[in-house]
Amino acid sequence: MTDLVLQVHNLCKSFGALKASNDVSLDLRPGEIHALIGPNGAGKSTLIKQISGGLQPDTGRIEVLGQDVTALDTVARARMGLGRTFQISSLAMEFSVLQNAVLGALGARRARGGRLGLFRNVMKDADLLATAQEALSRVGLEQAAQQRTADLSHGQRRQLEVAVALTLKPRLFLMDEPMAGLGASGSKDLTTFLDNLRQEAPILLVEHDMDAVFALADRISVLVYGSVIATGTADEIRNNPEVRRAYLGE
């Protein structure tokens, strides 16, 4: 038995001659934020896509809560508790905040193989509304429920994306650059938010914002040219000569 929430074993993925993932192994522990950093093109997003199921590895194995999910599609992995937010927003900008959350709850119901019913009735479905409202209150957006999504700040949109993901009751989160496009105060708010979210579900966090990474991460893995060159605490990574040379530019 393992209490590891996620285990990635020896993943390899090539695009032609390019090894985007070169024997990558890492894991995620309960309650932790594990940050994945590395230069542009290092293979961070490619790794996240293989874990979420959008991209099939050439070789290697992925386990969620001790179960091998390598052969499962994204919907099946979501059903097993894998939540994610996207580098590009998946929100419907003209819809209200509540409508987006209800659509998330509808997706969660579909992932569990539940009844879908008529689309025009979804905003009257008490069960979907309750799930959506609960998710909004957990990210602190209950007051904004009737606002148009396009009128939210960047930071609030990120919180809404997390609320949509929460409707699936995830056991862990994959996040690909959630701080991108946020100003300093937005990043600070999101940092506090993720700091609390980790208790609910641990997070594998791809992030360029080093202040956020060093503030949040229990462990950091450094990916360079498809390979993990180091995994350790913030201090270990800061003081690792190979990391300083390869990534921090020394």
Q: By CB under 6 A, tell whether 56 contacts ligand ADP.
A: no
Q: Which listed option, ligand ADP, Mg ion, none, makes contact with residue 50 (CB within 5 to 8 Å by class)?
A: none
Q: By CB under 5 A, tell whether 46 contacts Mg ion.
A: no
Q: By CB under 6 A, tell whether 8 contacts ligand ADP.
A: no
Nearest to 195 by CA among 216, 164, 221, 173: 216
Instruction: Compute CA 72 distance to the chain's CA centroid, rounded to the nearest angstrom.
Output: 18
Q: By CB under 5 A, tell whether 45 contacts Mg ion.
A: yes
Comparing CB distances to Mg ion, the nearer of 45 and 221 is 45
Q: How far is the CB of 150 from Mg ion (least distance, A)?
A: 25
Comparing CB distances to ligand ADP, the nearer of 15 and 151 is 15
Classify residue 41 as left (phi > 0), alpha (psi -120 to 50) or beta. left
Per-residue interface string for the shown chain with ligand ADP, residues 25-54, x marking contact by CB under 6 A: -------------x-xxxxxxx--------
C-alpha distances out from residue 111 to 31, 74, 82, 89, 245, Å? 25, 9, 11, 20, 44
Instruction: Compute CA 156 distance to the chain's CA centroid, rounded to the nearest angstrom.
Output: 16
Comparing CB distances to Mg ion, the nearer of 45 and 156 is 45
Q: How far is the CB of 206 from Mg ion (least distance, A)?
A: 7
Q: Are 205 and 33 in contact (CB under 8 A)?
A: yes
C-alpha distances out from residue 108 to 79, 171, 243, Å? 8, 14, 40
Comparing CB distances to ligand ADP, the nearer of 55 and 80 is 55
DSSP structural state of residue 80: T
Q: Which residues bind ligand ADP (CB under 6 A)?
A: 15, 18, 20, 38, 40-46
Q: Which residues bind Mg ion (CB under 5 A)?
A: 44-45
